[in-house]
């Protein structure tokens, strides 16, 4: 007889020093279904999945797979038993090819007189077939280091599928994907579901959850709240259950008044001919300028160049009317420009340093007094940020790697707030952040603009750009295709500009 549930996790508890991450959590997953797992940053979602996957050992509780009690010693054990996982933190091996990353630890081998060399040809063929099956266009031989974050995420998806598992855990698989890519992933998920695969899907994007899932389980503060059929739920109901209160407005009121132009960029052009070209725009004091575009629009590359992280072959940047040379991030910081990078957990954190050190690293000079660090002042600033952004951490001394994904993001966000820039460039500022905390970040952005700071904000979430920005500049394949006042913009118009010359691709 087929089991009603393919997976049951019963009364799972797990503590870390100073935190009870899971307190008797139970979830039951049906085969051939998409089961969403939701909860605020730090609610315990990733920890629960790591207990399943053998990365953590639960302190108590039992796991049943197809009715049989299991306890996986490590992730290989879980994979061998038909469970694979796309991790929230991506860990590609950068100087290896796509195919080596996918088949890592299980390379196909030839058998030549008892010696077993790696069968590169087969590995190539298998990778090509997998990419074909998933309709992805990534080449097997490409180095991982050459891929964009969204392509790395696509490789992770392909890898998870390649194990042909019965259960696939996806911990924020779409955090770096744009809308067309998400649609592509959903087609893949639907096919897997038809084949009877169970998907455990973790995401902070409400629309996605309601669109793709059959059932939704919600956690709050390490506890299990309940499971609902997706069709019984609405965004508001989920938010209410997750946060424990209603959030009536998703965006704060904006009271900023754009003033004179502070930053003017003229004809900025990358040295890489495939990247951005002839980018011209300006930003006013007290203005929030959004940048929209699909993957490949070169938005990240453009702001990274503006910040001195990438080289340009042409272009002039004016600050308050004066031309300035920004060839390194140090130049940018001196000119009071800050950049919150897109892939913060890869490019932004110092994993073994504390929350405090990670927060202060860009502004430490503000805390020096006659050559010595004023630690009281440091701690005060750090504690204020922990409170205002509701960062969930046992202490400011905790190593940042022990925080949940979303809470790490908040620490990096505070880092740039503390550096007190005039121009703050935010690349996907709310990626991986839960709904309640999103509102807090929006409020901070609105407040900064009101104080006369200029904000440049890249986002793939169009409602966020429409809700937050004064103007929205749209890019497509490295060029600016339009700039709109937010009052005149809507999602359709933005998409029209964003796809001006783009081929509508998938992953």
Contact window for Mg ion (CB under 5 A) among 2-10, 45-53, 151-159, 463-471: 45-53
- For the CA atoms of 495, 501, 505, 507, the dihedral, rounded to the nearest 10 degrees, stands at -80
Contact window for Mg ion (CB under 5 A) among 77-85, 215-223, 373-381, 398-406: 398-406
Q: State whether the Cα torsion 462-465-468-470 is positive or negative.
A: negative
Distance between CA atoms of residues 338 and 333, nearest Å: 6
Residue with tokens 């991986």: 432
- For the CA atoms of 424, 403, 462, 418, the dihedral, rounded to the nearest 10 degrees, stands at -10
Q: How far is the CB of 172 from Mg ion (least distance, A)?
A: 7
Q: How far is the CB of 433 from Mg ion (least distance, A)?
A: 11
Q: How far is the CB of 392 from ligand ATP (least distance, A)?
A: 5
Q: Looking at residues 81 to 120 of the shown chain, list those that interact with Mg ion (rule: CB under 5 A).
A: 88
**Closer by beta carbon to ligand ATP, 178 or else 404:** 404
**Closer by beta carbon to ligand ATP, 200 or else 403:** 403
Q: Are 324 and 302 in contact (CB under 8 A)?
A: no
Distance between CA atoms of residues 408 and 325, nearest Å: 32
Q: How far is the CB of 78 from Mg ion (least distance, A)?
A: 17
Q: How far is the CB of 204 from Mg ion (least distance, A)?
A: 9
270 interacts with Mg ion by CB under 5 A:
no
Q: How far is the CB of 489 from ligand ATP (least distance, A)?
A: 30
Distance between CA atoms of residues 152 and 157, nearest Å: 9
Environment class of 112 (CB within 10 Å of its CB; exposed 0-12, middle 13-18, buried 19+): exposed
Pairing between β-strand 167-171 and β-strand 60-65 as defined by DSSP bridges: unpaired
Distance between CA atoms of residues 394 and 10, nearest Å: 26
**Closer by beta carbon to Mg ion, 27 or else 263:** 27
**Closer by beta carbon to ligand ATP, 172 or else 301:** 172
- The partner in contact with residue 9, picked from Mg ion, ligand ATP, none with C-beta cut-offs of 5 to 8 angstroms by kind, is none
Q: For 51, what's the count of Cα atoms within 13 Å in the CB-facing half-sphere?
A: 29
Residues in the site for ligand ATP, rule: CB under 6 A?
16, 19, 21, 39, 41-47, 88, 392, 402-407, 434
**Closer by beta carbon to ligand ATP, 102 or else 403:** 403
Which residue is closest to Mg ion by CB? Answer: 46
Number of residues counted as binding Mg ion (CB under 5 A): 4
405 interacts with Mg ion by CB under 5 A:
yes
176 interacts with Mg ion by CB under 5 A:
no
Geometric angle at alpha carbon 359, from 358 and 360, rounded to 5°:
100
**Among residues 12, 21, 43, 46, the one that binds Mg ion under rule CB under 5 A:** 46
Q: Are 362 and 195 in contact (CB under 8 A)?
A: no
List residues near Mg ion by CB under 5 A: 46, 88, 404-405
């Amino acid at each position: 007889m087929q089991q009603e549930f393919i997976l049951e996790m019963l009364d799972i508890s797990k503590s870390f020093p100073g935190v009870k991450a899971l307190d008797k959590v139970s979830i039951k997953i049906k085969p051939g279904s998409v089961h969403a797992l939701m909860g605020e940053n730090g609610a315990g979602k990733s920890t629960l999945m790591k207990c399943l996957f053998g990365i953590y050992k639960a302190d108590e509780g039992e796991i049943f797979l197809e009715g049989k009690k299991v306890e996986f010693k490590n992730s290989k054990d879980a994979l061998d038993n038909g469970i694979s996982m796309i991790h929230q933190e991506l860990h590609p091996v950068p100087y290896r090819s796509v195919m080596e990353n996918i088949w890592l630890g299980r390379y196909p081998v030839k058998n030549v007189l008892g010696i077993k060399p790696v069968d590169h040809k087969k590995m190539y063929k298998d990778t090509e077939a997998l990419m074909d099956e998933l309709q992805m266009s990534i080449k097997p031989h490409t180095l991982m280091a050459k891929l964009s974050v969204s392509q790395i995420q696509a490789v992770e998806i392909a890898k998870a599928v390649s194990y042909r598992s019965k259960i696939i855990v996806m911990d924020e698989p779409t955090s770096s994907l744009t809308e067309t890519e998400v649609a592509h992933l959903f087609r893949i998920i639907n096919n897997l579901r038809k084949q009877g695969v169970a998907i455990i899907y973790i995401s902070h994007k409400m629309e996605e959850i309601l669109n793709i899932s059959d059932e939704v389980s919600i956690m709050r503060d390490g506890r299990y709240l309940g499971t609902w059929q997706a069709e019984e739920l609405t965004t508001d109901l989920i938010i209410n259950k997750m946060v424990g209160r209603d959030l009536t407005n998703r965006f704060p009121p904006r009271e900023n008044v754009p003033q004179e132009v502070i930053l003017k960029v003229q004809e900025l052009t990358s040295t890489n001919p495939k990247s951005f070209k002839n980018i011209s725009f300006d930003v006013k004091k007290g203005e929030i300028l959004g940048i929209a575009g699909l993957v490949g629009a070169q938005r990240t590359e453009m702001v990274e160049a503006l910040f001195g992280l990438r080289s340009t072959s042409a272009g002039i940047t004016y600050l308050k009317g004066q031309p300035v040379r920004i060839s390194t991030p140090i130049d940018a910081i001196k000119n009071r420009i800050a950049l919150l990078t897109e892939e913060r957990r890869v490019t932004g954190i110092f994993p073994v340093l504390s929350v405090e050190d990670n927060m202060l690293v860009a502004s430490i000079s503000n805390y020096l007094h006659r050559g010595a660090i004023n630690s009281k002042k440091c701690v005060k600033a750090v504690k204020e940020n922990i409170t205002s952004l509701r960062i969930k951490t046992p202490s400011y001394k905790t190593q940042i790697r022990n925080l949940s994904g979303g809470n790490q993001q908040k620490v990096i966000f505070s880092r740039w707030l503390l550096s007190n820039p005039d121009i703050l460039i935010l690349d996907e500022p709310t990626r991986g952040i839960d709904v309640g905390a999103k509102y807090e970040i929006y409020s901070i952005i609105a407040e900064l603009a009101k104080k006369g700071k200029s904000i440049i904000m890249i986002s793939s979430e169009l409602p966020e750009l429409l809700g937050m920005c004064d103007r929205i500049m749209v890019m497509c394949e490295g060029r600016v295709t339009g700039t709109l006042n937010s009052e005149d913009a809507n999602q359709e118009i933005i998409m029209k500009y964003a796809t001006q010359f783009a081929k509508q691709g998938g992953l």
